[in-house]
Amino acid sequence: MAFEDINVGLPAPKPLRLAGAALFLDLDGTLAPIASRPQDVRPEPRRTRLIERLSAALDGRLAVVSGRTLADLDRILEGRVTAVAAVHGLVRREPDGVTSEVAPHPGLVDAAARLRDFAIRDSGLIVEEKGLSVALHYRLARAQGGAARSLADEIAAATGLVVQHGDMVEELRTPGPTKGDSVRAFMSQPPFKGATPLFVGDDATDEHGFEAARQAGGVGVLVGPPRDSAARYRLAGVDAVLDWLEAAL
């Protein structure tokens, strides 16, 4: 993905001012360190307290926008966040608690079977089925990365599923709303409407969120190593994100 006004040497964001702001936060690699196995990410007291305090200070203008399932996000965040976009935007729980989701693509059944067959070759390969998508994690089997990417592209071409190349993961998802679409949907309604959005995320899938925030007069904050991005600012990692957020309270 290329952007016209790229600056890979992004500066750190200015101190966060919560008045008039709306926060959109990714989870893995942003609020929580990336684990070798997705199920290893668990609730953490510092993160839970921070989310509670931020939501209160923002009068509810806080949403988590993640590739994880809604159930997984509620488990990790201990149910502290109402506004959530899960599975990259295919599932959305509104600020009033009403949840909506798209219908699963019929090609997911075949995709999951092919990824499971592929995963047999290495015990470090993990297939994660999310209902509306299926992901192949190879963080514990990095030598399989090239083959995993090729297989995901092949399945996407054959089924019409959307392929997302992530950080040591290949995911095939039902076509539909993105993280950016979720930001736009939240921003169209209270309590987000009229606020300035800030989207904080680390992965390529977060670029849609950065762009949506920019279009609404806000900014994106990239987390992790420098790379081409639509974000305007960058923080080095999860600890830097938590420190930056806590300093606003």
DSSP reduced 3-state for 220: strand
The CATH number assigned to the domain with range 21-100+177-246 reads: 3.40.50.1000
3-state helix, strand, coil in the chain (%, to 5): 35, 20, 45
For CATH 3.40.50.1000, the residue range(s) in the chain are 21-100+177-246
What is the pLDDT, as a whole number, of residue 8? 56
Spatial CB neighbours of 115, under 8 Å, sequence gap ≥ 6: 127, 134, 136, 151, 155, 172
Average pLDDT for consecutive 10-residue bins of the chain (249 residues)?
51 96 98 93 97 97 97 97 97 97 97 97 96 97 96 97 94 97 98 98 95 97 95 97 97
Segment 51-55 long-range contacts (CB within 8 Å, at least 24 positions apart): 51/77, 51/80, 51/81, 52/80, 53/249, 54/18, 54/23, 54/245, 54/248, 54/249, 55/80, 55/81
Please identify which of the residues 26, 28, 203, 206 carries the catalytic annotation.
26
What is the pLDDT, as a whole number, of residue 220? 98
For CATH 3.30.70.1020, the residue range(s) in the chain are 108-173
What is the pLDDT, as a whole number, of residue 9? 82
What is the pLDDT, as a whole number, of residue 80? 96
Residue for token digits 């009229």? 194
Instruction: Give the chain's radius of gyration (CA, Å).
Output: 17
Strands 62-65 and 219-223: unpaired
Global pTM reads 0.93
Helices 207-215 and 179-187 pack at an angle, to 10 degrees, of 30
Q: Which residues sit opposite 21 in a β-bridge? A: 196
What is the pLDDT, as a whole number, of residue 124? 96
Neighbours of 160 (CB within 10 A): 12
What is the pLDDT, as a whole number, of residue 66? 97
Strands 91-93 and 99-101: antiparallel
Query: Catalytic annotation on 26?
Result: yes
The residue ranges of DSSP E strands in 91-201, in sequence order, are 91-93, 99-101, 126-129, 133-137, 162-166, 169-173, 196-201
User: What topology is assigned to 108-173 in CATH?
Assistant: Alpha-Beta Plaits (3.30.70)
